[in-house]
Structure 1
Amino acid sequence: MNDKRVDAHAEADSDADVEEIARLLPAPARRHLPREQHLHHKEQLMQRIDHDQVASRPRPTRRLPRPALLVPVTALALGGLLTAGVVVATGDDAPATTATRRHDAHGTRPATVLLDQISVAAGKGDALQVRDDQFAYTREKGTGADLTSGKAVVGPLRETETWSAQRPGPLRKLGITRTDGETLPINAELGDTDGTPAGLSRPTYRWLASLPTDPERLLTYLYAKTPKFEGQERDQEVFECIGALVGGVMPPGTAAALYRAAAMIPGVSEAPAAHDAIGRHGVGISRDDTTFGTRTEWVFDKRDLTYLGARSYLIKDTRYGKAGTLMSSTAVLAHAVVDKAGQEPATTRRS
């Protein structure tokens, strides 16, 4: 009888925790999932709930989870994704040496050669003069898997437009997003009561231009500043951080440095059969997340090596589906700089 009472109390506490987290989170925008992040955050939440439900001893006080990255162009959405607590990386998370990152036993990796070519192409883009009172505009199509049923159920392909404020901040309203005719605000990152400043959580053009353009220095910065998830390998977190930054309005020097920095991350490889959400085939760069059993691919145009989009899918059988199950897919259609949120650009460009 006592055991049943303890289990009942543990389950009630767990339900109360989840309800409190849901109450604190902002209302989610109705748009496609941000690439591979949905699977990771959902898995971590489920593990915490499962643990709490079987616990038979008093639980220590836990910090409420918070989103790791609220990048405007890939804002967390579809049900309000819940994540584990975020901490800043320490010196122990510094990347490996250049020699071990860039080369294997057979010399330069094919992915390094391809990323160097992509870097050169990105560096030839035009630098823009973006004012602090303007907005970065992105139009893309995408879809993502809903995991609430316990299985990956891929939703319909939807087109989303995003207007991201360029003021350095801190800002409480980061811009707006429009999907299927419905326009919603992008709020400050959860926990930023005074607003979210420009940075990894809100990469303005001016902030991106301030980053080191030396790949070594840039990669060291990303390993130190990229938010950390409990249980996920550091190399994958930094790879995903770079993937969240590329594909929009960006200084060419920064884009070039990001791709060369990505080439230094262990485990990065080519993906010859890569394609985006609307079926555009191209050359790809991928990395396997061994913790969660997913593969993330970035897709680039075969002709000019511009960024087309990304997708993520299972590479092993999991509770959500069999290997090959799609988790998310995006296709960047256009980006530009405009004067007002909600304004359609007169001309657009691809990455």
Structure 2
Amino acid sequence: MNTDPRRADQPVDPQELAELLPAPGRPVLRQDRHRVLKEHLMEQISNETVYELSSTTDTSSAPPAPRRPRRRLVLIAAPLALATAVVVGAVAVDGLRDGEGGATGVGGDPRAEHREAVELLDRIAVVAAGRPAVRARDDQFIYTRSQGPSSMWGGPSKLVRDSKGNVTGTKTYTGKVRSDEWQPVSGKRDGLRRLTGLRPNGEPVLTQTEDIAMSPGDLTFRQLEALPTDPDALLKKLKSGSGVVKSRLTETVFENVGTILDQATLLPDLNAALYRAVAKLPDVRVVENVKDGAGRTGIGLTYAHREKRYTATSEYWVFDSKSLAYLGTDTRALQDAAVADEKGKVTAGGAS
């Protein structure tokens, strides 16, 4: 028996039918997840706008192509399913973005993550460009002081001798270590690395030191000065002659830039160009709350291959969250960089 008094020819009222259905749930998204969805939506709108603008600016005599219909946003039953997907994705994203668990994966929108990295690198480049330039003579040295675990440098080590004075092996200090390095500006002389063991409170263990002669390696300061400061030209230079397979080219460029950032801090124009060149790499990601080799917390950058989204394959570069000054990496902290007249001499304020 039909209890509805509506006649067969009476039109259906959508509002009346809607009132017969239970009210849909309203899943509450976290603010950061809501921001990701909003950015994704705005990107879709921007892409469609660009398509329509390109269609309307065609001035050829050919008849215009049929106009692409606008996408309609269906927001009735979608929110609950969408919220479920976002919550699942958030579990994967938060680990890397918070720098927890070491090399944790990235699970967010690659385009949004890359856009965030580009914006951060641009701000870092502006700060780097504002540093004072340093001039160095060929007879001087570039001094850097770093800190990290002894495994970074494999020392300091001491020879172990038996009761007769015969060498029976070596013993390596385990714990935090300070590395003072003097690299020749011209690369025509040997440099020096001095390793000093550190106590848990940061005080040096004077009985745990080791001096190691260093042959010129990587790029000398003079070679760094000769690199182009245009980001596009610099990136082309960094990619040339890398000697690696194409699938690892981007990762290798990221790693190679990391090896010269210490000395590059003394060359503002090059330093800024390096960050802007890295911003052109597709798989660079921002990582929040990362500690450097000395335990200082900052904001980080890393490389995560697009086909291995859940693995950060490179080290983290760490920057001060407020000043955006380069602090080093997650395994090695940069504490000083200067020009020295002689190798082996250090004052309280850095190189002498």
TM class by smaller structure: 0.5 to 0.7
8 Å CA contact 2:303, 2:312 repeated in 1: no
Query: Deviation at 1:279?
Result: 1.2
Alignment of structure 1 residues 17-166 onto 2, 5 Å = 109-143=115-149, 156-166=175-185
Query: Deviation at 1:295?
Result: 3.8
Deviation string 1:49-89 (CA, Å, 9 cap, x unpaired) is: xxxxxxxxxxxxxxxxxxxxxxxxxxxxxxxxxxxxxxxxx
CA distance in 2, matches of 1:262, 1:231: 17
- Report what 2:32 is aligned to: none
Per the normalisation by structure 1, the TM-score is 0.54
Match of 1:179 among 182, 186, 195: 195
Query: Deviation at 1:182?
Result: 1.4
Residue identity in the other structure for 2:225: A
Query: Deviation at 1:348?
Result: 3.9
Query: Deviation at 1:345?
Result: 4.4
Residue identity in the other structure for 2:220: P
Deviation string 1:190-219 (CA, Å, 9 cap, x unpaired) is: xxxxxxxxxxx2331x32222111101100
Query: Deviation at 1:247?
Result: 2.4
SS at match of 2:315: strand
CA distance in 1, matches of 2:314, 2:223: 29
Alignment of structure 1 residues 209-224 onto 2, 5 Å = 209-224=225-240
Deviation string 1:234-262 (CA, Å, 9 cap, x unpaired) is: 11000000111112353100000000011
CA distance in 2, matches of 1:340, 1:107: 45
SS at match of 1:110: helix
- Report what 1:343 is aligned to: 345
- Report what 2:260 is aligned to: 245
8 Å CA contact 1:337, 1:345 repeated in 2: no
SS at match of 2:224: helix
Residue identity in the other structure for 1:202: L
Query: Deviation at 1:338?
Result: 0.7
CA distance in 1, matches of 2:230, 2:316: 24
CA distance in 2, matches of 1:174, 1:110: 42
CA distance in 1, matches of 2:110, 2:318: 24
Query: Deviation at 1:155?
Result: 5.0
CA distance in 2, matches of 1:157, 1:137: 20
CA distance in 1, matches of 2:136, 2:348: 16
8 Å CA contact 1:247, 1:308 repeated in 2: no
Query: Deviation at 1:347?
Result: 3.5
CA distance in 2, matches of 1:294, 1:113: 22
CA distance in 1, matches of 2:117, 2:301: 7
8 Å CA contact 2:149, 2:176 repeated in 1: yes
Alignment of structure 1 residues 308-327 onto 2, 5 Å = 308-311=327-330
Q: How many positions carry a matched residue from both structures?
A: 208
Structure 1: unaligned runs, 5 residues or longer: 1-102, 149-153, 190-200, 312-328
8 Å CA contact 1:177, 1:185 repeated in 2: yes
Structure 2: unaligned runs, 5 residues or longer: 1-108, 155-172, 197-208
Identity %: 32
Per the normalisation by structure 2, the TM-score is 0.54
Query: Is 1:333 equivalent to 2:348 in the alignment?
Result: no
CA distance in 1, matches of 2:223, 2:194: 24
SS at match of 1:273: strand
8 Å CA contact 1:208, 1:250 repeated in 2: no
SS at match of 1:274: strand
Q: 1:239 to 1:107 in 2, by over 3 A?
A: closer
8 Å CA contact 1:336, 1:347 repeated in 2: no
SS at match of 2:346: coil
CA distance in 2, matches of 1:107, 1:142: 29
Residue identity in the other structure for 2:291: H
Rg bigger for which structure?
2
8 Å CA contact 1:282, 1:300 repeated in 2: yes
Greater Cα shift, 157-166 or 271-280: 271-280
8 Å CA contact 1:136, 1:164 repeated in 2: yes
